Chain A
């Protein structure tokens, strides 16, 4: 469904992505782990073209999307993103956050969009917070609204950039639960995270990334318990203790 071939990205003299290959099938959950600065966020942002790759190909359902002639907005409609810092629109209520995309980008009827929006908020467990402003919500609630907001666009796949890293510990569970239920419903997901529990239970495959390259790839138990590469072993041992 999503394939990335030999992705290269430089920021000035900093070579952030040094030829990354990645593939995720429909309905698959792929988790990317790695030390900070390894380029994981950049990789995600190249997939939905928030960042323009210097070289390489990004393919969505077989179609190369990182070329002139393709509208970026169209790509981003197909691939939703959830951010580490939630990025909820502070001047809008939760429901308005969720319906903004469908009404303004898709031109959906506001009434229908609101209905769907409430349903989505109920799905993430926040039906009663539809009229709350982000500042009135806890971190976990904000992130769940963010997930509902991304889902409102009916994306084919979802990208998660360290969704729980900015959360207080007591809120991490609720967000991971929502993500797990999404996975169960068959959503294609690429998740950058440090939550190893989630990775072990929900991911089909794990990618270990370091210094701009994919070092190793495999099923969760292989990566965590029988890593082949030295760097993988070093990183995993630090994480798992």
Chain B
């Protein structure tokens, strides 16, 4: 029967396909590793003795990343908030005030121009623009430049600080500023996605502005914001590798590079460094992907920059 033959054929093709896929994948990877290993040699003893040192260096990376991440979150949240708050257009503010003024000819005495409101509007607007400028600069310039900039500042103002500490502070400073900029994007999108209409609805059932924020907007925004924030952490971990330009802090990349040059075990160093990064980043990314897919609401989400920025 045509149907049975058809399904049978399809199943056979699938099995063949899967086997071929495994062969090709493993084969290609093995071939590549082999070619590289031949030239440089593969010293297993080196790997088994020094992997602990690599892990310690990885610890430093994680430490730097985590510190910068949470400081950056503070900055990011504040900036994100500032950039997401919607201001009434200036024209409307004046219009509303005009009507109040005209209607109050018989009652209180508001001034002719809503000076206070305009000033407040101006302040809000410029705070927002400055925040925008900050984020634009962070996103528009390489992290390398940001790190060097921070490092130059620290060296200039604290020339007698211990070299490693200088590097450490410079790195954390730059990474904090950097992740702060990117996280502000995440928070801004999260807050403004939820904001529309929800504040009115919350006030309508009697919540104050703060109450609405706490009980309605923030819980929803939190849910939206967690996957991209997790990705941002991973991205920051990868970005922390750029501290190699400072040289004094022994995070994973600096350590791996140094080892490669000192011991000439280039391939092994590469394998260890790459392996450790992959071990951390890939599982976390996969988990986040799965969570995002499960809880995705079509049309609702936070735009995410590619996490590894330089």
Partners in one complex: yes
**Is the C-beta of A99 less than 8 angstroms from some C-beta in chain B?**
no
- Count CB-based A-B contacts (< 8 Å): 11
Q: Which residues of A contact B6 (CB under 8 A)?
A: 52, 54
| Contact-residue bracket for chain B | under 10
Contacts of A26 in B (CB 8 A): none
> A-facing mask of B1-18, CB < 8 A → 1, else 0?
111001100000000000
Residues of A within 8 A of B1 (CB): 55
Q: Give 1 or 0 for each of A42-72: 1 = CB within 8 Å of chain B CB.
A: 0000000000101100000000000000000
Whether A142 is near chain B, meaning CB under 8 Å from some CB there, is no
Neighbouring B residues of A54 by C-beta, 8 Å: 2-3, 6-7
Q: How near does chain A come to B257, taking the closest CB pair, in angstroms?
A: 48
A positions within 8 Å CB-CB of B: 8, 10, 52, 54-55
B3 to chain A, nearest CB (A): 4
Give Cα distance in the complex from A55 to B2, angstroms: 6
A61 vs B1: C-alpha distance when bound (angstroms): 25
A-B contact pairs, 11 of them (CB 8 A): A8-B3, A10-B3, A10-B7, A52-B6, A54-B2, A54-B3, A54-B6, A54-B7, A55-B1, A55-B2, A55-B3
A10 to B7, CA, bound (A): 10
CA distance A103 to B268 in the complex (A): 59
A179-B3 Cα distance, complex, nearest whole Å:
36
Enumerate B30-58 residues with CB–CB distance to A below 8 Å: none
For B1, give the chain A residue with the smallest CB separation: A55
Closest 8 CB pairs of A and B: A54-B3, A55-B3, A55-B2, A8-B3, A54-B6, A55-B1, A54-B2, A10-B3
Question: With a CB–CB cut-off of 8 A, which chain A residues contact B2?
Answer: 54-55
Supply 8 further A-B pairs (C-beta < 8 A) apart from A54-B3, A54-B7, A55-B3.
A8-B3, A10-B3, A10-B7, A52-B6, A54-B2, A54-B6, A55-B1, A55-B2
User: A62–B134 Cα gap in the complex (Å)?
Assistant: 72
Which residues B212-258 have CB closer than 8 A to chain A? Answer: none
- A55→B5 CA distance, assembly (Å): 10
Chain A residues closer than 8 Å to B3, beta-carbon distance? 8, 10, 54-55
- B190-201 toward A: CB 8 Å interface, digit per residue (1/0)? 000000000000
